[in-house]
Structure 1
Amino acid sequence: MTETKKLGLVDLVAISCGQVIGAGVVTLIGTAIVATGTSAWLAYGAAVVVGFISIIPFIFISSTTMLQGGEYSIVADMLNEKMAGFYATAFISQCLSLSLLGTSLGSYVNSIFPEMNGRLIGLIAVCFFFALNLLGVNMMANAQKILSAILVIALLMFGIYGMTMVNPAVYDISSPGFFTEGYGGFVNAIAIYAFSTYGQYMVMNFSKDAKNPTRDIPLAILISTGVILILYVTVAIANCGVLPIEEVAGKPLTLAAKEIFGNLYPVFIIGGPVMALMTTMNSTYGSRANPLLRAARDGWFPASIAKMNKRNVPYIIMTLIFLVGIIPLLAGLSIKTITNNLVLVGYTLRMVTAVSIIRLPKLMPEQWKKSFLHVPDSVFYTIMILTFAANFYMVYLSARGLTTKILLINVVFIVFCAIYAVARYNSGKVNLESAKH
């Protein structure tokens, strides 16, 4: 088996940035402008803060212990066995995000080259990154550093150069167009943005691949949060100010990009939104595979799927992720349909992990005290309460926007995962001690 080089801080920051910066930054700003006016750029900054609050528990736990199975390890080691089985089974649904990424990427490429088949382009991209990830985590990380650098440069160019062209009124808080819908509209804009501001925490699923996980994983999350705060706010300022606000309201970032870049607009689309989707797609395979790998070793799935190739990659699990991920893409489902079937289950899983992490000071007292991010218990529990509030709010927002049919599908799937976990546990095939770190 080929020796795998452990990931350093730069690798993890690239993965973290790639996971959080998606095409949402391109599509959401126009919608937020409709909700709150020119203050949409300020709302994006607030949304990054809200998103950060919701993932603070993951920063605490990743600074305390090495998580062999990432998110799954939190539940398996800190809550209980049956809940771990529920988490592992429900987590499979998150593999569907590959189709969302592929569909979105195809649509952006199609906007530049209308003659191309967008769905085929998306499928080719999903297949390419599947093959790349089979070559090992080092190959994935090396590609991620290049792709993430291009992405950050493209968005910075849009934001910083665009800010030199904006109407100064974009900063005028007293302007009647700044808070067009008052406090309610501003909060609604934050809610619109919130879903694009917290993905950086998923870098914790690469804990087993990191040189110094308890230091570098939380640092990567913190650094990437700072990066997206700067990127998102500057990009939003440029989008709100380079054209009259009524022209960009409800429109994607591409309208302002044409104004800023002119004939170089296609270059921005490749370097910005397309690269954002590619970086997320590239890191998705590993961030999904590592939790499922430990779950399989614990007995929640057949042990045979945990086999590794010579590059130290769980190739059967990776293949299953690929197959689950392309089903909606092959079926031609819309971006909205795919998203609706992901968000509620995703937030439910986040709540389960948050409940697990609240036990950190009691279950790992010595390790927690040694953490470089250790805080007094009173501060820890206060932060956890804020986190719960942020997550509950996000669950409410995601459920509110679902149709009754989609909501029922989500609920039925959650119930199925619970039944499967109990049945598998009662079969005697589960042994969580087998893969404890």
Structure 2
Amino acid sequence: MPRTGLRLKSPDLLVAESGADLEGHGLKRTLGPFQLVCFGVGAIVGTGIFVGLSDTVAEAGPAVLVSFVLAALTCVFTAFSFAELGSAMPVSGSSYSYAYAALGERAAFLVGWCLLLEYGVSVSAVAIGWGQYLNELLENTVGVRIPAALADAPGHGGVVNVPAVVVMLLAAVLLVRGVRESARATAAMAVIKVGILVLFCAIAFTAYDAGNLSPFAPEGLGGIGAGASLAFFSFIGFDAISTAGEEVRNPRRNVPLAILVTLGCVALLYCLVSVAAIGAMPWEQVGGKPAALSLIVDHATGSAFGSTVIALGAVVAIASVVLAVMYGQTRILLSMSRDGLVPRVFARVSPRTSTPVANTWIVAVVFAVPAAVVPLDVVLDMTVIGTLAIMAVVNVCVLSLRRSQPGLRRSFRVPFSPWSPLLGVALSLYLMSGLPLVTWVQFAVFLAVGALVYSRYGRPRSRLAASPEAQPPGGTLPDGTPAGGSPTSGEPSNGDPSAAPRPSVGA
């Protein structure tokens, strides 16, 4: 690809460079489609529904169902875009790599910077919520609670949130052992938490009262929009599937399939949970309450047994989200490090475990700090605005690459393009508009800092700029052909067994 001021990186080169770290050690393809779907469910279902549902109800009232549908629609259109890009570029960089190919290095760095919010800061938010349900479980089973000073953030009655730190360190231990072990743990936890949410629906529907849904939208359209912005947090994580592109068997098929299956199943489950919750208990009694699902089950059953089961499910669910989202953050940083935009230590892969060990521990320690001392509501809004901005960019990337790379091999194609990506952009911006002004100011400052870091650190150290040939390690693709070939060749790379081109799906 010709050099431009944008420093574009060809999709072919992105895939070619994904085979190994800077020292020759690579990630291994061990994940199948079922494990990938479980990984997606593990990344999504957690704090957003177990902890954040009550905040969404407080904004939208019984119309929380509409808020969840709006949030899901935003994700569906963007999921199509992630599926197309993931099938064309099965690499660890996810939206960072897509932006590098479509919009250039500066935009890619800022996307990677925003991914610190979607993955890094969100893992802190998820970990914060873990302590609430851990206390609920401990109180119901052994009659003890972690003291508030050690279970809450400053300003919320605590000094340091110890459970949040503990769950992040435990996730790091599992991640450095290997992706196969992490995948097995995530799959087991995904099955448990989905089963418990189904059990919640079954219990809550026994106390269903249609009168609880009236008035349906007490806060009007503004409340629905604000609720949708909060509900969107419950869906964050489906794009983490695309960060596993280098560790998936047959990624051009399995990555888009897993994204769409995961999002469809989770959206249906969330709608059922929201209807069951509001039908079982007046929304005024649910809105803003901690551990709301346990409260509803206690109300429906008249005992604490049901809430104990829900608390167990939440503890498992939130732990699995920490595991999956931390995994995604480490793979994003690995890709950025390969490109020279962040320090080299993030790209080092252990030859023994085939995992980025130092990268994982750095992420765990750095993001354990906000988890320990920052209240949940502070980190939640920043996570949401950063993720929505990334989703808007990903939809733009599809449109850009359709124009600049029409022959790029795509196993999945976004249906109804360009309308579907345009709707994804519009809905992302709509949900961003429902966030408070202070969040926008914080986000603007965050982007300004990111631009400064890129200009002072990333741009001068860019490997793409430093190498006129921009050759990957070894100068060839993994199948032995020269790197930088035609992106329309459809040749497999990085151990991708899908050698033969597949027919495209969609429009």
Contact kept? 2:98, 2:397, Cα under 8 Å:
yes
Match in the other structure for 1:177: 215
Q: 2:234 aligns with which of 189, 193, 196?
A: 196
Query: How far apart in 2 are the matches of 1:428 and 1:40?
Result: 47
Once residues 176 and 266 of structure 1 are traced to their aligned partners in structure 2, the CA distance between those partners, rounded to angstroms, is: 26
Q: Indicate conservation of the 8 Å contact 1:106/1:122, yes or no.
A: yes
The equivalent residue for 1:371 is 411
1:29-48 to 2 correspondence within 5 Å? 29-48=53-72
How many Å separate the matches in 1 of 2:363 and 2:471? Answer: 23
| Change over 3 Å in CA distance of 1:337–1:191 after alignment to 2 | closer
- 2:422 maps to 1:385: yes
So what's the TM-score if we normalise by structure 1? 0.87
In 2, Cα distance between equivalents of 1:397 and 1:181 = 14
> TM-score when scaled to structure 2?
0.76
1:220 aligns with 2:258: yes
Q: Contact between 1:69 and 1:208, CA under 8 Å: does it hold in 2?
A: no
Q: 2:203 aligns with which of 146, 152, 161?
A: 161
Q: Distance in 1 between matches of 2:371 and 2:407?
A: 47
- Find the aligned partners of 2:223 and 2:461 in 1 and give their Cα distance: 53
Mapped partners of 2:307, 2:214: distance in 1: 35
Q: Which moved more, 1:10-19 or 1:48-57?
A: 48-57
Map of 1:99 onto structure 2: 124
2:392 — aligned with what?
351
- Aligned in 2, Cα 1:73/1:15: closer, same or farther, shift over 3 Å? same
Equivalent residue letter for 1:284:
V
2-structure distance, mates of 1:87, 1:184 = 29
Unmatched tracts of structure 2, length 5 or more: 1-24, 152-160, 473-483, 485-492, 494-507
Alignment of 1:20-419 (within 5 A): 20-93=44-117, 94-112=119-137, 113=139, 115-116=145-146, 117-118=150-151, 119-169=161-211, 176-251=214-289, 252-260=292-300, 262-309=303-350, 310-330=352-372, 332-368=373-409, 370-373=410-413, 375=415, 379-398=416-435, 401-403=436-438, 407-419=440-452
* Stretch of structure 1 that moved more, 13-22 or 49-58: 49-58
Preserved CA contact (<8 Å) 1:2 1:311: no
Asked if the contact 1:308–1:315 (Cα under 8 Å) also holds between the matched residues in 2, the reply is: yes
* Offset from partner CA, 1:385-423 (integer Å, 9 cap, x none): 10110111122223xx253xx654432231121122233
Q: Hey, what's the Cα distance between the residues in 2 that align with 1:338 and 1:46?
A: 22
CA distance in 2: counterparts of 1:356 and 1:372, whole angstroms:
15
Quote the offset at 1:135 in angstroms.
0.6
**Closer/same/farther in 2, CA of residues 240 and 413 from structure 1, 3 Å limit:** closer
Q: Which structure is richer in relative contact order (CA contacts within 8 A, separation 6 or more)?
A: 1
**Cα RMSD (Å):** 2.7
Q: 1:160-219 CA distances to partner (integer Å, 9 max, x unpaired)?
A: 33223312446xxxx742333444444443333223224212211111111021211111
C-alpha spacing 1:86/1:247, structure 2 compared with 1 (3 Å):
closer
Letter in 1 for 2:200: F
Q: Are the counterparts in 1 of residues 164 and 368 from structure 2 also a CA contact under 8 Å?
A: no
* Superposed structure 1 runs of 4+ greater than 6 Å apart: none
CA contact (8 A) 2:62 2:278 kept: yes
Residues 127-162 of structure 1, C-alpha deviation per residue, up to 9 Å, x if partnerless? Answer: 111000001111110000000000000000111332
Per-residue Cα deviation, 1:4-52 (whole angstroms, up to 9, x for no partner) = 4520111111111111112221344444444444343354334322332
Question: For structure 1, which runs of at least 5 residues remain unmatched after alignment?
Answer: none
Q: 1:191 to 1:305 in 2, by over 3 A?
A: closer
Q: Distance in 2 between matches of 1:133 and 1:391?
A: 31
2-structure distance, mates of 1:126, 1:197:
20
Q: Secondary structure at the match of 2:353?
A: coil
**One-letter amino acid of the structure 2 residue matched with residue 230 of structure 1:** L
Q: Pick from 405, 409, 431: which aligns with 2:464?
A: 431
The count of residues paired between Structure 1 and Structure 2 equals 424
Identical residues among aligned pairs (%): 21
Higher helix share: 1
> Relative to structure 2, which stretch is displaced further, 14-23 or 261-270?
261-270
Instruction: Name the SS for the 1:196 alignment partner.
Output: helix
* Aligned-residue offset at 1:279: 1.3
